[in-house]
Amino acid sequence: MQSSSKDEWESPGAAQADAGIPAVGSPQAGVPQAGVPQAGVPQADSSRKEEAPSFVVGIGASAGGLDAFGRFFASMPANSDAAFVLVSHLDPTHASMMPDLIRKQTAMDVRQVTEGMRVEPNCVYIIPPNYDITIVSGVLHIEQAGVDHPRVPIDIFLRSLAEDQKEKAICIILSGTGTDGTLGLKAIKAELGMAMVQTVDSAQYHGMPRSASKTGLTDFVLAPEDMPKQLIAYMKQTDRRKAPQRSATQEKLLEGLPEIIEIVGTTTGHDFSLYKKNTICRRVERRMNIHQMESASRYVRYLRHSPQEAEALFKEFLIGVTSFFRNPEAFETLKHGALADLLRKKDRDEPVRIWVPGCSTGEEAYSLAIIIQELMDEFQVHHEVQIFATDIDDMAIDAARTGVYPAGIAADVSPERLKRFFVRDEETYRIRKEVREMLILAAQDIIKDPPFTKLDLISCRNVLIYMDGELQRRVLPLFHYSLRPGGILFLGSSETIDGFVDLFSKVDRKWRIYRRRPSTAARAEIEFPVSFMRRRLVELKGRGRLDIGFPQAVEEARSKRRRGKKT
């Protein structure tokens, strides 16, 4: 297979040039415009009832990608029942030769995408030059790329793929410069999809594979020609888990879950026994699919003897959705409402204290820092700002400390904010020092570590959703304790304060913004995190309760392992 032609692909320098985040622009001759019928260009009939593919595989590449595409499809059977969407940084000034070149490597039907084309099994879809592509309800949509930001067509497609296909989404990152695809990979993993990345030593250009691998979220790192075998095995294993077999597997998983939680806790020091069991089961099941294991008991045996797998499962438990200004309207509502009111009432020498538990890689915490700085500029005031950004994932905290993010954040951050609060470094953006210094980053577990106090705002938008009711009933009174009188609680769109209306009043129902109520009853409900879970287990055992369920089962699994070690 020949290496990529510079006429077909952007050079490494061109791949870094500004060519736009999705925005409808002027039509380009010979290329279909998004959503607009073109003379002489057939429009796809999306009303046809086609068979849906078992999986949709998004494959991204830039410089050096044509060689990698060829090596992949030369080894990929034509009857996998998956659909493949190829997204690349094609030179917009040249008609794409890629469809013809890919046809030489596969017996699958190869199509250049037109607006409204529905994905079908055993077909390969190729993005037209200078267009961005998304997928909604299995239908592909194209828009001509704009010129305001660095192009990130791979991130754009993969993020839409994650939202549309959920666990049926697969992403593959191949050779290329820059960081395009990294944020898309994170989105795929957050929806329980699968991620493959080309090995750096097999790639002509290392930027994209290296950036994707640094996330720590990749499932397989392989040369392109080795990917199809693993891909087929994964798809067969995952697709095999359908009712009623999947129900039977989940029943067995529930039986083995206490020991799984205990092993992860012993390895990492973190207890997931009061997290939602269905969520934990889905994460464990995904790891079983990666290892092609159908038996829950077999996976438990494997986990016992593999600290590396226990760490990988721990990371799997932590994967969540995060981005700058996630739900932008929520941040604007917070900024112009509760936060603006807070700053107006602050004395000039008073600090602004905020806690962001479960901050992941820092996007949410930095988003808050940005809007606070904007408000201080607007009001012409200055306060010391202390944003305590915490997470139980040490790697995520380390990433947040660097304050460096892929170019794809331009899809979430306005051009004005990028210019004001970030420094562009080739294919990344770095948070400016004035914003970075507002954050105090630390590893912390809200389940077992003491909370912060005298806070003006707690932003917890991606944590409570994973906790069961028992744990939420402990955490929310702690938040009430941590906030100053009148302090603000900012939750995610799927999280509520149900059962605690005496502790918090609603500020904005839609975006889950609440204000702390004065309440003496709250103090009686507080159980401080330090060792409270173990104390609770001992208390329940002392009462002779036989129906306390999952937490006791975890403790029994721990005792069993301790007895086994002694013998």
What is the arrangement of strands in the sheet containing 422-425, beginning at the earlier edge strand?
Answer: 404-406, 428-431, 422-425
**Predicted pLDDT of residue 92:** 64
Each residue's pLDDT tens digit, 310-342: 999 999 998 877 899 999 999 999 999 999 999
Query: What number is the average pLDDT over the span 279-308?
Result: 91
pTM for the whole structure: 0.80
Q: How far apart are CA 154 and CA 61, in angstroms?
A: 8
Nearest C-alpha neighbor of 185 from the set 209, 164, 149, 151: 209
The percentage of residues in the chain with a pLDDT greater than 70, rounded to a whole number, is 79
**Predicted pLDDT of residue 247:** 60
Q: So what's the architecture of 328-525 in CATH? A: 3-Layer(aba) Sandwich (3.40)
Each residue's pLDDT tens digit, 17-63: 333 333 323 333 333 343 444 443 334 554 445 689 999 999 999 98
Q: What does the domain layout of the chain look like in residue ranges?
A: 12-36+51-239, 241-318, 328-525
Domains 12-36+51-239 and 328-525 share a fold: yes
CA dihedral 126, 128, 133, 136 (to 10 degrees): -60
CATH topology of domain 12-36+51-239: Rossmann fold (3.40.50)
What is the arrangement of strands in the sheet containing 220-222, beginning at the earlier edge strand?
Answer: 109-112, 123-126, 83-88, 56-61, 169-173, 194-198, 220-222
**Predicted pLDDT of residue 547:** 36
Task: Supply the mean pLDDT for the chain.
Answer: 83
Angle at 256 between CA 476 and CA 546, to 5 degrees: 65
Each residue's pLDDT tens digit, 219-270: 999 999 999 999 999 999 887 655 455 566 667 788 889 999 999 999 998 9
Q: How far apart are CA 20 and CA 103, in angstroms?
A: 29
280 within 8 A of 261, measured Cβ to Cβ:
yes
Cα-to-chain-centroid distance, residue 7: 35
Q: How far apart are CA 488 and CA 510, in angstroms?
A: 15
Nearest C-alpha neighbor of 226 from the set 250, 249, 251, 197: 197
Nearest C-alpha neighbor of 173 from the set 146, 149, 191, 199: 199
